Chain A
Amino acid sequence: MRVVAALSGGVDSAVAAARAVDAGHEVTGVHLALSRQRAQHRAGSRGCCTIEDAGDARRAADVLGIPFYVWDLSERFHDDVVEDFLDEYAAGRTPNPCLRCNERIKFAAVLERALALGFDAVATGHYARLVGGDGGDGGEVELHRAVDAAKDQSYVLGVLDQHQLRHSLFPLGDTTKPQVRAEAERRGLRVARKPDSHDICFIPDGDTAGWLRERLGDRAPDVPGPILDDATGEQVGAHDGTLGLTIGQRRGLRLGRPAPDGRPRYVLDIEPVSGTVRVGPREALAVDGLVAGRAIWAGAAPDDGAVLDGDDLVVQLRAHGAAHRARATVDGPLLRVDLLEPASGVAPGQAVVVYRGSRVVGSATIESTVRGSAGASS
C-alpha cells in the first residue's frame, strides 16, 4: 500500500512509520503544521507542532529513508478544532479537542487529501488495534483497545467510522510504550527519549482557563458568581469565573464555611451564563445515566430502538477513564445510556465511547446526565 505516515516529531509516530516501512508499504512522512504561530521549541512535555518538532519529524523520516513533507492544515485546525473548542466552552460544555482533531483533521482532511493524492491509508502512532478487514472480502475492520492499557488511545479514535478505519493503520497497538521507546533506540531514532506530550497541544502553557478567558472575551464573558449548596440552595462561597472549574472538582473552591457534615464538597453543576455553581457531597456527583447525541458507529449502525447490553458492554467517558458496565439504547438520533456502575465528574460535551469487550462499537457526545441519588439532571 501507499501510506502517509503522520509524523508529529514524537517517538510514537516515528516508530509507527518505521513499522509501516518494515511491513512493506511505500511510506511518505507528513508532518502536520497545525498552529498558525509556531514556537521554535516546546517547553517540557507541553505544546506541539513547534519548528523543533517539525525538525525531529524530518530527521525521523531521514533515518527511515522515506520522503518527507509538511502539510499546512493550520487554517482547518483553527476552524474545526480550536474554534469548536471555544464554542463548546462558551456553551458551557467540556469538549475533548483530540477527538475532534481525529474526526475532522487527521482522519478527515489529511486522509481525504492522501486518498486524493493516490495514497491508500494514513498511519499514526496511536495506541489502538485494527482487526480484520485485510482479507479483501469486504468484512468490517474492527477497532480494539491497545494491549498497553496505560497507553490505550481507542477512546480518542472512537469518532472514526468504517470508511476512516478501513484507511487507517495503527502499527503500535500490539506493543507497550517501553517497547516502542526501546525499538526507537534500536532503530537509531533520535526521538527515542523525547518526553511524551500532554495536555492540549494548542494551549502551550497548560493554563486552559487563562487561555479560554483571553479568547472568549465578549463572546462568553467569564462571569463571577455564587457557589450554592445543591441540597439547601444556600450560598456557601463565590468564584471569579466558571472557566477554571470542572464538574467533579474539589480543590480551589475557597468555600468560606465547612459543610455541616464536615465532608468535602465537589462541583456538581456549572451554569456558565448565570455564573451559578452548585456543590455537594461526593455521592451527589454520581451519574447513573446519560443522554448523548451525534453518534458515530465504528461499523454498521444499529437499528433504531436497538439495545446494546450484556456483560461485556462497557462505556468510557474520558480519555484514560474507567470502563463502566452499561446498557445503551438507540433512540432516534440519541443514545441513552444507563450506567450499571455509576460514574462521577461527567460533563456535557465529553464523549461516551461504547465498547463490546475491547472492541469500539461507537461514540456519541454527552448532552445531559442523570444523577442517581438526587435524581437531578444537569
Chain B
Amino acid sequence: MSTAVYLDHAATTPMVPAAVEAMTAELVAVGNPSSLHASGRRARRIVEEGRERIAAALRCRPGDVVLTSGGTEADNLAVKGIAWARRAADPARRLVLTSAVEHHAVLDPVLWLESAGHAEAGLLPVDADGRLDLDALDAVLAARAAEVAVLSVMWANNETGAVQPLAEVVARAAAHGIPVHADAVQALGALPLDVGASGVDALTVSAHKVGGPVGIGALVVRREIDVVPIVHGGGQERDIRSGTLDAPAVAGFAAAVELAVDRQDAHRRRLEALRARLVDGLRVRVPDVVVNGPDDPALRLPGVVHASFPGCEGDSLLMLLDARGIECSTGSACSAGVPQASHVLLAMGRSEDDARSSLRFSLGHPSTEADVEAVLEAIGPCVERARAARV
C-alpha cells in the first residue's frame, strides 16, 4: 500500500479481499459461459450464482440483472435503450427527462439523443442543495406526460452526495406510466438500497465503487421494460446486451456487492463520524469554507464532503494537497485533465468562481481518523497558498 492519504473513494475504492480472492480463483479457469460443454457450464454457473447473489443483495430478481462493462454502459443502455423502445412504441414519446446534476454518463446520452434528433432533452432544475425540484417535475408532467419516454434521476449525487427524492419521483412517474431509471452507483453500499421496494424500473450499479473490480457493472431492469440494445452481438444478456460474460469479474462483483450491502449500516455510521470530524475541522481551519449539498444526514451520502474554498482554484488546491500525499478530487468531469467548472454546482445556482473553487473529499472503507487529521493539518497552509496563486 502506498502511504498516500487516499480520499477519493467516490472515484474508485480499493478492492476488498473477498472480491480479490473470488476473482483470482476464477482467472485461471477456462470456459466461456456461453459454451455448451463442461467448462462452459462451469463458467456459466459462476456467472449465474454471482447474478443471484447480486440480485439477492439488491432485492431484485436475478433475471433483472443485465451485466455490463460498468456504470457508464449501464446508464447509456438505460437512457438510450428505453428512450428508443418507448418512442418506437409511440412516436409521441420523444421527451427524455433527467436532472441537471446527473453524472455525465446519463447527461451526455440524453444530450446526445437530442443532438442526434432522437429525442428532446428536458433537464429538470435542482434547489440550492442540489436536490430535484419536484414542482418543476410536476409542471412538466402536467403539461406533457404523454410525451415522456423515460425519466432518469440519480439516487445520490457523485459530487455533492445529495440524495434525490426518488420515492416522490417514482410516485409521480407511475401515475403516468413513465419508466424511471436511477443511477445508484454512489448509493450502493452507502445507503439502504432495495430495488424492489424503490419502484424504479431500471437502476445502475458499478462494481469498483464498492470494492469490486473495475470493468463490470449492471443495469437492473425489470423484464417488463423494453430496452433497445446499444451493443449488438451474441445477445448473451437477455438479448439486450452482448459480449462474452466475464466470469471472474462477476465473481468479484458479487462478493463485493454482498459485503457492501451486509456492512452498509455499520459503514454508514463509521463514515458519518469521520465526515463530521472532517467537516468540523475544515470549518475551524478555513472559517469561510462552504460545505455544499444537504446538511441533513438523511439527505446525503455519509462519506462525501464537497466544499468550496473561496478565493482558491480547486486545481491549485488539489495539486498542493497532492504534493503532500493527500489525494482528493475537484469532483468534476475532466477532458484531458482540464478541470471544468462543475455543472452540478452551476445547476445549484452557484457562480463559476464558486464552482471552480471546490474540492471533493470522499471517504471509503479503508479511511481512518489519521486520514482526516492529515487533511486538517494540511488544508490551512494549502488554502493560503492557493489563494495567493489565483491567476
Contacts and interface: CB of A to CB of B under 8 A. Distances in A.
Contacts of B388: 116
A109 B391 CA distance: 6
Interface in B333-391: 335-339, 385-386, 388-391
Question: Which one of A38, A54, A117 has the highest number of Cβ atoms from chain B below 10 Å of its Cβ?
Answer: A117
Interface in A30-71: 31, 33, 38, 51, 54-55, 58, 67-71
Interface string B289-333: 000000000000000000000000001100110110000000000
A20 to B, nearest CB: 17
A117 B389 contact: yes
B4 to A, nearest CB: 12
A117 B319 contact: yes
Nearest to B339: A72
Given A31-B337, A67-B322, A70-B337, A76 B391 contact: yes
B338 A117 contact: no
Contacts of A258: none
Contacts, number: 50
Contacts of A72: 315, 338-339
Interface residues of A, number: 22
B335 A38 contact: yes
A113 B338 contact: no
A118 interface: yes
A31 B335 CA distance: 13
Interface string A100-113: 00000000010011
A116 B338 contact: no
Contacts of A238: none
A58 to B, nearest CB: 7
A69 B319 contact: yes
A4 to B, nearest CB: 10
A366 B150 CA distance: 63
A28 B386 CA distance: 16
B337 A54 contact: yes
Nearest to A50: B336
Interface in A18-33: 28, 31, 33
Contacts of B389: 112-113, 116-117
Contact of A38 (B315, B320, B323, B336): B336
Contacts of B391: 73, 76, 109, 112-113
A134 B388 CA distance: 27
B338 A70 contact: yes
A298 B390 CA distance: 26
Given A109-B391, A113-B316, A113-B391, A69 B385 contact: no
B337 A118 contact: no
Given A28-B319, A70-B336, 7 more contacts: A33-B338, A38-B336, A55-B336, A70-B339, A72-B339, A73-B391, A118-B320
22 contacts: A28-B319, A33-B338, A38-B335, A38-B336, A38-B338, A54-B336, A54-B338, A55-B336, A67-B323, A69-B337, A70-B337, A70-B339, A72-B315, A72-B338, A73-B391, A112-B391, A113-B316, A116-B388, A116-B389, A116-B390, A117-B319, A117-B386
Interface of A: 28, 31, 33, 38, 51, 54-55, 58, 67-73, 76, 109, 112-113, 116-118
Top-10 shortest CB links A-B: A116-B389, A70-B337, A54-B336, A116-B388, A51-B336, A117-B389, A33-B338, A113-B391, A113-B389, A109-B391
